[in-house]
Structure 1
Amino acid sequence: RAEALFRQLAARFSEHRMGHQARWRAAWVRWRRGHHAEAEASFAEGAKAPGANSYAAANLFWAARAAERNGGEARVRAYLEAAAQQHPLTFYGQQARARLGLSHYRMPHAPVDLDNVPLPATPATRHEELAALGFDLDALAEAEYVHDTLPAGHEHNEQVEIHRFLARTHHRLGNIRASVGNAEGVTWYLAHRRQPVDRELWMLSYPRAYWDMISDTARRFGVDPRLVLALIREESRFDAQAVSPAGAVGLMQLMPFTARRMAAQLGLPPGWSSTDPRANVLMGTAYLAGVIRDWNGDVALALANYNAGPDAVRRWVGGGIGDRDLFLETIPYLETRFYVQKVLESYGIYRALWP
């Protein structure tokens, strides 16, 4: 019955994100039931669907896993290569590269100095002119006005460039959360459609904010600083004042009881605050290093622990993970499943940007 409902939704919303999700879910139900030939056909069909976007890579990856069960070795490789080549920075593209035994993807372009991106020699718009004169706040207001008057949707080049300008300007002003918000939508819109995305947009979407502090702290605790960046990006979008509905605070979204415990372990002086970037990164990185050790270096399980707590992960793991891909796809808490996949995806992107 679940499969039938998903297929109805897929037909009704064929070109909408909901339809692509439903199509993928219908194929997933077939895979879980052991109908691997049918599942492979459904995943392959979903990967080719117009506008599949973020679901294209997922469909290709799981078409490969279904073909594996059908003894189709050549098809397995073809699906994995398509996912790895067409969607290299997505979670599933990264998983496909790992299954193919390939090294981490590397961004082909040279790094960009985001703090010193030159303004146009001859400003073509009023907001560029204001920025050239040093009136950044006025330039932002003008750019926001222009954005609101443009047709909706990133398919318009004007929308791409206005989001780029907003992201650049917010980054220059230190408003990293706003910068990421403006850059990431257009970056992934282009990437999912296999259109060119320049390195600047990727770097604005995945910035190295607080890099010196994060790098020093991460190395102190034996953690890859790019993993800490990825976690902070998904937890708070680099907003040091962020407070979640559950009460988690700061860059690494520490719950108060966790922060108090880590502060005591680290011997922080009285008056420490979770909204202080240095204290938060120190406590959060020390805690992350601890959970990575607890799970014998398994980053995925450590991230699940960071989000859902150790007791939940112990229940899920039981006597062992078994099929790792299946485990990552069936983490019982939807929030944790999405969180683990997003942080791993971001981690791969940071490694691609800064090998």
Structure 2
Amino acid sequence: GFYQFFPTIFGDELYPLEYTNEINECADRFGLDKPLLAALILKESGFSPRAISRAGAVGLAQLMPATAAGINKREFQYPDYDLFDPKTNICFGAAHLAGLMGTYNGDVTAALIAYNGGDGAARRYLVARDMDVLVTETKLYAPKILAARDVYASMYGNQLPAGKTPEVTPVKFEVPKQPNVKEFWKGFVKDVFARFFSNN
């Protein structure tokens, strides 16, 4: 691929790859594309297992402790775990992303938006199909990861064999219809009169 011919400064240094075995194992366990998981780790922590965000997200995949606790209960049932442990964090992150992929019918963009900005952000995107409805950080998050994913697939194809890209069936969320105030009051008055005359 094109990126295989990049000088080191444009390749390995900008798109490093560590914890290859852990990424492959965890991606296989949860049916994720391996270059995608590597790209997520790059964006979240720059492959720093001790990373802690200002919000309190921890480790390579930057998981909030409460989110990790839910993932553990659902997927692993470990009596104890360490989010600074690379394999643990990568597998928890893979489980989280895979769960979001399931929620949004395989829509990778929506899953990544939810990973960064939560379910509300993903639903706003799915209704509008427009990144401009998102805050700047979340708006840029998915495109950056998807672009990095392509670089990882090209640079590290032998180390991170890409999985088959699933066909995406977009989830459709309808905007709730606003209630018709006139019809509401008409029905309310009609109901009041009906109750009044039925009691007399």
Instruction: Give the alignment's TM-score, normalised by structure 1.
Output: 0.42
| Structure (1 or 2) with the greater helix fraction | 1
* Aligned counterparts of 2:88 and 2:43: Cα–Cα separation in 1: 19
Q: Does 1:341 align with 2:143?
A: yes
Which of 22, 26, 42 aligns to 1:213? It is 22
Q: Is 1:107 matched up with 2:2? A: yes
Aligned to 1:298: 107
For 1:245, the equivalent position in structure 2 comes to: 54
From 80, 85, 100, give the equivalent of 1:276.
Answer: 85
2:60–2:86: 8 Å Cα contact kept in structure 1?
yes
Q: 1:225 aligns with which of 16, 34, 37?
A: 34
Match of 1:203 in 2: 12
Distance, in Å, in 2 between the alignment partners of 1:331 and 1:353 is 33
Q: Are the equivalent residues in 2 in contact too, given 1:242–1:249 (CA < 8 A)? A: yes
Structure 1: gaps of 5 or more residues: 1-105, 111-196, 322-326
Q: What secondary structure does 2:12 align onto? A: helix
What residue identity is the alignment partner of 1:343? Answer: I
Q: Tell me how far 1:277 sits from its aligned partner.
A: 1.1
- Residue identity in the other structure for 1:335: E
| Equivalent residue, structure 1, for 2:94 | 285
C-alpha separation between the residues in 1 aligned to 2:133 and 2:156? Answer: 30
CA drift at 1:352: 1.8
Q: Gaps spanning 5+ residues in structure 2: where?
A: 158-200
Q: CA RMSD in A?
A: 1.8
Q: How many residues align?
A: 157
Following superposition of structure 1 onto structure 2, how do residues 43-122 of structure 1 map, counting pairs within 5 Å? 106-107=1-2, 109=4
Contact 2:124/2:133 (CA < 8 Å) preserved in 1?
no
Equivalence for 2:153: 351
Counterparts of 2:50 and 2:118 in 1: how far apart (Å)? 23
* TM superposition shift of 1:267: 2.8
Residue by residue over 1:39-71, the C-alpha shift from the partner in whole angstroms, topping out at 9 and shown as x without a partner, is xxxxxxxxxxxxxxxxxxxxxxxxxxxxxxxxx
User: How far apart, in 1, do the equivalents of 2:53 and 2:79 lie?
Assistant: 24
**2:11 alignment partner, SS class:** helix
Counterpart CA distance in 2 for 1:349 and 1:248 is 26
- TM-superposed CA distance for 1:270, in Å, is 2.4
Change (3 A) 1:205 1:248: same
CA contact (8 A) 1:109 1:199 kept: no
CA displacement 1:297-354 (0-9 Å, x = unmatched):
1111110010011122213322x62xxxxx24x2421010121121111111111213
C-alpha distance 260-351 of structure 1, shift in aligned 2 (>3 A): same
Amino acid at match of 1:107: F
C-alpha separation in 2, matches of 1:341 and 1:316: 13
* d(CA) in 2 for partners of 1:303, 1:296: 13
Which letter maps to 2:2? M
Larger RCO (CA under 8 A, 6+ residues apart): 2
1:336 partner letter: T
Distance 1:230 1:219 in 2: 16
